[in-house]
Amino acid sequence: RAYNFCAGPAALPTDVLEQARQEMLDYQGMGLSIMEMSHRDKVFVEIAEKAEQDLRSLMGISDDYAVLFLQGGASTQFAMVPMNLLGEGETADYINTGQWSKKAIKEAGRYGNINVAASSEDTNFSTVPPQDSWQLSANPAYVHYCPNETIGGLEYSFVPDVGDTPLVADMSSTILSRPIDVNRFGVIYAGAQKNIGPAGLTLVIIRKDLLGKAGAHVPAMLNYQTHADNGSMFNTPPTFSWYLAGLVFQWLKKQGGVANMAETNQRKAEKLYGFIDNSGFYSNPVEKISRSWMNVPFVLADANLDKQFLSEADQAGLLNLKGHRSVGGMRASIYNAVPEAAVDTLIAFMADFEKRNG
Ligand code: PLP
């Protein structure tokens, strides 16, 4: 298989895909695929429960939290968070560190008062505003931030301290990449298609005391309480994505869990940034302390070479290195399933390209 640096839907572990392939037509001798099975079948319910238990053990999620397996992507969470947590006349605080924060802010603005408590737009999102500069409102309903901005490649090196205010995090592109203390958060959400599994599944981890706050006008499907009360089976859940996420969680446990992944991820990222910083040909604009372990954007000294770079990379089996359409340049997404050998191969390719064209 090629090395896939796509930002999402992203690479999945080959072992996981191989297992899914073996089970595709005939799940454990039952004569049908997981995709063709009722979500209420005992066999699927066991798969679903095991996936949740494995996630709970990987992330250290206590019984104080509900884990929801939803649909609609992280983009739907941009709306569900304020619909469920922002009461009449209340204010929510948002930190603006990039394109995904901005989308969350824009969407939340439909539902109530939003205070942008800090922004790094003036540095073109190359920094994380230090917490002592945040202008939090007096009594916010929650504080929302995006720990890892997938497009800009900016990642917080700290978990904000907001006291008793619920902290809400869009962890789409950082979840499971390093250990985090879930108890610091009110809500964590993530689209699955980066570090969890196939697109179509959205994970929400919510502290149980935050359930039941949605107004009567909030549709049942967009109310966290509905899904918590029904084990995420109020309606038909994305069964195949849920199953595959479960296989990814088992794979992660076999790799030694999130702490081990973090060591590898840090090493992968440091190698790539180190190479970029030492070259006169490639560059990355993000302040060192806030560089993402998962998404590494970089530009070539001469943008006229971009096309050639991408086409030669493709031929070398290094796929999907094109940067997001809003920023251009390149981006190597190096999620959990991207092996260290992929990063080594990419660096060797980049060094050779620079030698020939620099
Ligand atoms: N938030 C972040 C940080 C993302 O990277 C993405 C997608 O790439 C989204 C939100 C949007 O996710 P979805 O496409 O699942 O709605």
pLDDT at 110: 96
Judge whether 314 counts as a catalytic residue. Answer: no
What CATH number should be reported for the domain holding residue 282?
3.90.1150.10
For 120-148, the pLDDT digits (tens) are 999 999 999 999 999 999 999 999 999 99
Residues with CB under 6 A from ligand 1: 8, 73-75, 100, 146, 150, 170, 172-173, 191
75 annotated to bind ligand:
yes
Distance 73 CA to ligand 1 centre (A): 7
pLDDT above 90 (res 83):
yes
- pTM for this predicted structure: 0.98
DSSP secondary structure code for residue 196 in this structure: T
What CATH number should be reported for the domain holding residue 227?
3.40.640.10
ipTM confidence = 0.99
pLDDT above 90 (res 286):
yes
- Average pLDDT value for residue range 299-310: 97
Give percent above pLDDT 90 in the chain: 99
Number of structural domains the chain divides into: 2
Identify the domain boundary among 230, 254, 278. 254
Which of 71, 75, 333 is the best mutation target for the ligand 1 pocket, counting ligand atoms within 8 Å of the beta carbon and taking the most? 75
* Residue 358 binned pLDDT confidence (cut-offs 50, 70, 90): confident
- Average pLDDT value for residue range 93-118: 98
pLDDT at 140: 98
100 annotated to bind ligand:
yes
Give percent above pLDDT 70 in the chain: 100
The answer to whether the beta carbons of residues 197 and 248 sit under 8 Å apart is: yes
Tell me: do 207 and 233 sit in the same domain. yes
- β-sheet with 167-170: strand ranges across: 65-70, 202-207, 187-191, 167-170, 143-145, 91-96, 113-119
3-state secondary structure of 70: strand
For 212-269, the pLDDT digits (tens) are 999 999 999 999 999 999 999 999 999 999 999 999 999 999 999 999 999 999 999 9
Preceding omega of 179 cis (within 30 degrees of 0): no
* Residue 169 binned pLDDT confidence (cut-offs 50, 70, 90): very high
Tell me: do 333 and 212 sit in the same domain. no
Average pLDDT of the residues of the chain:
97
Domain that holds residue 243: 15-254
Identify the domain boundary among 254, 274, 290. 254
pLDDT at 218: 97
